[in-house]
């Protein structure tokens, strides 16, 4: 039996895929995906480090309540990856600490 994907289950027909870059690596994104969903789909689960200890972080709550998924999108730091919709050509970068040069 062939495994079915969520797209199969809902009979979804998204528009054409596009690309963004994450730390210089091209990632394919489906229309409507958040940055977090796009990164997860590409097998990337961590894209921020904590201020004090530099521990890796990614999605924790997935609904914009916590701030574990902060990322830099097109030079704007402190963007919650779970809330920001990925757009064609976005430049996404790992955020270290506060994202500002401390």
Task: State the Cα–Cα distance between residues 30 and 74, nearest whole angstrom.
Answer: 18
Q: Is this structure's pTM higher than 0.85?
A: no
Residues 6 or more apart in contact with residue 25 via CB below 8 angstroms: none
Residue 11 phi/psi, 5-degree rounding, is 55, 40
d(CA 58, CA 26) in angstroms, rounded, equals 19
Q: Tens digit of pLDDT per residue, the chain (102 long)?
A: 777 777 777 776 778 999 999 999 999 999 999 999 999 999 999 998 888 888 888 998 988 998 899 999 999 999 999 999 999 999 999 988 777 665
Sketch out the chain's domains with CATH numbers: 15-96 (3.10.20.440)
Nearest to 31 by CA among 88, 71, 82, 74: 88
């Amino acid at each position: 039996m062939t495994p079915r994907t969520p797209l199969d289950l809902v009979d979804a027909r998204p528009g054409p895929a596009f690309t963004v870059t994450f730390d210089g690596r091209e990632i394919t994104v489906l229309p409507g995906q958040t940055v977090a969903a796009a990164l997860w789909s590409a097998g990337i689960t961590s894209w921020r480090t904590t201020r004090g200890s530099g521990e890796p972080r990614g999605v924790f709550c997935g609904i914009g309540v916590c701030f574990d998924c902060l990322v830099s999108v097109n030079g704007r730091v402190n963007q919650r990856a779970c809330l920001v919709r990925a757009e064609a050509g976005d430049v996404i970068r790992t955020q270290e600490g506060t994202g500002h040069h401390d």
